[in-house]
């Protein structure tokens, strides 16, 4: 059975962990500012939280790359991997439909896609104020860190790691917001192909669908854990969660 870490426990232990090990949020060493380094940080956090058994690791966007690295590098710590509109497929399609390495996707294309997503969510009043405040705080406090995180996500090719996870037959769930403007659909297909035969659930919404509709996210995640089809709303589960804004800190 997977260990369960509640959201409150994560928040409280995360605060204590910063004070105990990093003082005022000291950044990782430059050599560790990669998916492997962030994955190692996650395991140190679990140690600090007193979690010794395997856990379900959920990663969204850039956090999906971190979660993938945790599953590959520390398989005994992970009972199940859940990737939500994750980076790592390593490909994108240009205007002509030709598949190209993700590192060749221009910065302006990423930025325009992110702006479209933000505009949709702001227009629908779906972005919680604390998410806007958190991103603004990180961008002002550590602009270079935010840029590094963005560049790492922009060039993420984790196909080898995903294939290694597939060989180990680790349970994997891939959740995908069908109207994602940020992560190319070709990337999503590449992730699924590398994993072999993961459980895939496609839902309405854009890249930030889990933030826009937290109830749907909790419903899909909980029911996928139980192996049920999506039906009536259920309570959101607890999990170890890797997200872009948290990692950028």
End-to-end C-alpha distance for the chain, whole angstroms: 31
According to the model, what pLDDT value does residue 158 have?
96
pLDDT per residue over 18-36, tens digit each? 433 333 455 677 778 899 9
> Can you tell me which residue has the tokens 């980076």?
87
Sheet holding 78-84, edge to edge: 199-203, 172-177, 78-84, 55-60, 240-242
**Alpha-carbon gap, residue 141 to 249, rounded angstroms:** 9
Considering only residues 249 and 95, tell me which one the structure prediction assigns the higher pLDDT.
95
**Alpha-carbon gap, residue 182 to 246, rounded angstroms:** 18
Rg (CA), the chain: 17
According to the model, what pLDDT value does residue 18 have?
43
Considering only residues 238 and 101, tell me which one the structure prediction assigns the higher pLDDT.
101
């Amino acid at each position: 059975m997977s260990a369960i870490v509640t959201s409150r426990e994560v928040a409280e232990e995360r605060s204590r962990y910063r004070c105990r090990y990093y003082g005022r949020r000291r950044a990782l060493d430059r050599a560790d500012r990669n998916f492997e380094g962030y994955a190692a940080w996650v395991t140190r956090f679990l140690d600090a939280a007193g979690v010794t058994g395997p856990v379900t690791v959920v990663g969204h966007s850039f956090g999906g790359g971190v979660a993938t690295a945790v599953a590959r590098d520390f398989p005994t710590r992970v009972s199940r991997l859940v990737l939500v509109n994750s980076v790592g497929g390593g490909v994108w399609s240009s205007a002509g439909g030709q598949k190209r390495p993700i590192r060749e996707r221009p910065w302006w294309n990423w930025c325009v896609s992110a702006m479209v997503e933000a505009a949709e969510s702001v227009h629908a009043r779906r972005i919680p104020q604390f998410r806007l405040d958190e991103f603004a705080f990180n961008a002002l406090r550590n602009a270079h860190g935010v840029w590094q995180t963005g560049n790492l996500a922009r060039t993420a090719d984790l196909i080898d790691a995903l294939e290694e996870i597939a060989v180990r037959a680790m349970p994997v769930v891939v959740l995908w917001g069908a109207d994602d403007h940020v992560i190319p659909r070709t990337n999503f297909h590449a992730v699924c192909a590398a994993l072999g035969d993961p459980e895939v659930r496609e839902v309405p919404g854009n890249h930030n669908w889990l933030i826009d509709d937290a109830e749907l996210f909790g419903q899909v995640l909980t029911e996928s854990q139980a192996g049920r089809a999506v039906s009536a709303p259920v309570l959101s589960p607890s999990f170890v969660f890797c997200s872009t804004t948290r990692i950028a800190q």
